[in-house]
C-alpha cells in the first residue's frame, strides 16, 4: 500500500514532522513527466520535474567490447567507452530544503554568462538541479503549491484533471526554448575507483571576446559518491586541462570549492559546480581527487576524462531572467 512520508522542518530540534504526500512506485521504464513531484534519493530534498533531457552516459565501470586505445591525451591510453542513452531531469528544488542540503550540494549549480557590457558576470539561478532517473522517488500530493520556489508558479499551473496535476505554462516552454543551449546536458561521464564514484557533466556556456581573442567558457557539475561504508575525506584535486590550441595546464589545490567534504554512509554524496575557460573552441579535462582514510592513508580517485566542446552554431547568450 502507498505510504505517507514526512519531511522534517526545523532540523536542529528535529521535533516537527509533517506529512508531505504519498509515495508512488518508481518507474523502471519510461520517463517522468513535467510536474512530477519527487524526493531526491541521495540528497533528500523535495523537488518537481520541469522537463526531461536525454543524455549520453559514458560509464567507465561498464566493460566495453571495444578495446582500441583512444588517441586523445585524456584517454591515458584507456579503453574507448560507448555512450548509452540515459534520462536526466531539469528540476526545481524546494527552497525550504535548500538550507539542509547546502552542506552536501550546491543549490546554485546552474550558472549563465550574463550578456551585459560587463562580460565577466556570471549569474546563477538558485534551486535548479539536474537529477538522474534512478535518483527520483516519485510522490503525489493534494497541495496545489507543494514546492516553494520563486519560479514554481511562473513555470507550472495546477490542473486537477491531469496526472501529475501540474502542467507547463507557456513561460516554461519559452524559457526552455530560449535557454536550452546553456541548460541542456548531452554527455555524462562516470568512473569508480576504490568504491568512490565520480560523475561529471560538462556544459558549454558560450564565448566571450577579450583583448582581440576569443575565450570559451564551460561549467562542469561533479558528484562524488562513496559506495562503501568506510568514511573518507576529500583532501586535494589535481586537474589537467588540455586546450585544442595546444596548451596543457595542471591545476592542484586543496579540496573543492573551498571545502574538504567527508563522505560517510549517512551522507555518501557531495555535488558541486565549477567553471573553466579556454582560448580555443574545444579541449578536454581529466585528473584525480586525493582522498584520506581514517587511518591517515591516502588514495587517488580518477576523474573520468571528458571533452569540452563548444556548440557549433553560436547562439546569443541569455540576457538574464527576462521573459
Overall average pLDDT of the 146-165 stretch: 95
- For residue 309, being part of any structural domain is answered with yes
Beta-strand runs (E) in 24-99: 37-40, 46-59, 83-93
Residues sharing a CB contact under 8 Å with residue 246, sequence separation 6 or more, in sequence order: none
Query: Which stretches of the chain are DSSP H helices?
Result: 98-101, 152-155, 170-183
- Its domain, for residue 274, covers 192-313
Question: Are 113 and 196 found together in one domain?
Answer: no
Angle at 90 between CA 234 and CA 153, to 5 degrees: 125
Give per-residue pLDDT as tens, 281-322: 999 999 999 999 999 999 999 999 999 999 655 545 444 444
For 192, other C-beta atoms within 10 Å of its C-beta total: 17
What pTM was estimated for this model as a whole? 0.86
Query: How high is the pLDDT of residue 173?
Result: 95
| 181 neighbors 311 (Cβ within 8 angstroms) | yes
**One domain for residues 28 and 170:** yes
- Confidence class for position 197, pLDDT limits 50, 70, 90: very high
Residues 230 and 279 in one domain: yes
Q: Which of 113, 125, 289, 74 is nearest to 210 (CA)?
A: 113
Residue with the larger pLDDT of the pair 16 and 27:
27
Instruction: Pick 312 or 254 by higher pLDDT.
Output: 254
Coil, strand, or helix at residue 287? strand
255 and 226 in a common domain: yes
Per the domain annotation, does 75 fall within a domain?
no
Phi-psi sector, 177: left (phi>0), alpha (psi -120 to 50), beta: alpha
Residue 41 included in any domain: yes
* 34 plus 133 within the same structural domain: yes
Q: How confident is the model at residue 208 (pLDDT cuts 50, 70, 90)?
A: confident
Examine the domain organization and report whether 199 and 159 are in the same domain.
no
Phi/psi of residue 119, each to 5°?
-75, 0
123 has which bridge partners? 112
> Within a domain: residue 260?
yes
pLDDT tens per residue across span 264-280: 999 999 999 999 999 99
Q: Which of 8, 43, 11 is nearest to 270 (CA)?
A: 43
Task: Say which CATH number the domain at 258 has.
Answer: 2.60.40.1470
Residue 252 lies in a domain: yes
Q: Are residues 24 and 138 in the same domain?
A: yes
- The predicted pLDDT at position 162 comes to 94
Say whether both 254 and 227 belong to one domain: yes
When the pLDDT of each residue in the chain is averaged and rounded to a whole number, the result is 86
299 contacts 194 by C-beta, under 8 angstroms: yes
Has residue 265 been placed in a domain?
yes
Grid cell locating 265:
554512509
Q: What is the pLDDT of residues 64-82, one digit of tens each?
A: 544 444 444 444 445 578 8
Virtual torsion, Cα 50, 51, 54, 58, nearest 10 deg? 10
Residue that terminates a domain, selected from 140, 160, 184: 184
- Say how many domains are in the chain: 2
Please check whether residue 294 is in contact with residue 88, taking contact to mean a CB–CB distance below 8 angstroms. no
In a domain, 234, yes or no: yes
Closest CA to 314 of 205, 163, 226: 205
For residue 203 the three cell numbers come to 556544459
From 184, 209, 225, give the residue that closes a domain: 184
Residues in CB range of 178: below 8 A, 6 or more apart: 318
Q: How far does CA 167 lie from the centroid of its chain?
A: 24
Residue 320 lies in a domain: no
Tens of pLDDT, residues 85-138: 999 999 999 999 998 898 899 887 788 887 655 556 778 888 999 999 999 999
pLDDT at 295: 97
In eight-state DSSP terms, residue 69 is B
The confidence score (pLDDT) of residue 9 equals 43
Distance CA 121, CA 114 (A): 5
Amino acid at each position: 500500500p502507498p505510504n505517507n512520508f514526512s519531511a522534517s522542518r526545523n532540523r536542529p530540534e528535529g521535533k516537527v514532522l509533517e506529512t508531505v504526500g504519498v509515495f508512488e512506485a518508481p518507474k523502471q521504464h519510461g520517463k517522468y513527466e513535467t510536474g512530477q513531484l519527487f524526493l531526491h534519493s541521495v540528497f533528500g530534498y523535495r523537488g518537481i520535474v520541469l522537463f526531461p533531457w536525454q543524455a549520453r552516459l559514458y560509464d567507465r565501470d561498464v566493460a566495453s567490447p571495444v578495446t582500441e586505445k583512444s588517441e586523445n591525451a585524456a584517454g591515458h591510453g584507456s579503453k574507448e567507452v560507448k555512450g548509452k542513452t540515459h534520462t536526466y531531469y531539469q528540476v526545481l528544488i524546494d527552497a525550504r530544503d535548500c538550507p539542509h542540503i547546502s552542506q552536501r550540494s550546491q543549490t546554485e549549480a546552474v550558472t549563465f554568462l550574463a550578456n551585459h557590457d560587463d562580460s565577466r558576470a556570471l549569474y546563477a539561478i538558485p534551486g535548479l538541479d539536474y537529477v538522474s532517473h534512478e535518483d527520483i522517488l516519485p510522490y503525489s500530493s493534494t497541495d496545489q503549491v507543494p514546492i516553494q520556489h520563486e519560479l514554481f508558479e511562473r513555470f507550472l499551473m495546477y490542473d486537477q484533471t491531469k496526472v501529475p496535476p501540474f502542467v507547463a505554462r507557456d513561460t516554461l516552454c519559452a524559457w526552455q526554448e530560449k535557454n536550452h543551449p546553456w541548460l541542456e546536458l548531452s554527455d555524462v561521464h562516470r568512473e569508480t575507483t576504490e568504491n568512490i564514484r565520480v560523475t561529471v557533466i560538462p556544459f558549454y556556456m558560450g564565448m566571450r571576446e577579450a583583448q582581440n581573442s576569443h575565450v570559451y567558457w564551460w561549467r562542469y557539475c561533479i558528484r562524488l559518491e562513496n559506495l562503501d561504508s568506510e568514511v573518507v575525506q576529500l583532501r586535494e584535486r589535481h586537474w589537467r586541462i588540455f586546450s585544442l590550441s595546444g596548451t596543457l595546464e595542471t591545476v592542484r589545490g586543496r579540496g573543492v570549492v573551498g571545502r574538504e567534504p567527508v563522505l560517510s554512509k549517512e551522507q555518501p554524496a557531495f555535488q558541486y559546480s565549477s567553471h573553466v575557460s579556454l582560448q580555443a573552441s574545444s579541449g578536454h579535462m581529466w585528473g584525480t581527487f586525493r582522498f584520506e582514510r581514517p587511518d591517515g592513508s591516502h588514495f587517488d580517485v580518477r576523474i573520468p576524462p571528458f571533452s569540452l566542446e563548444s556548440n557549433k552554431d553560436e547562439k546569443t547568450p541569455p540576457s538574464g531572467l527576462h521573459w
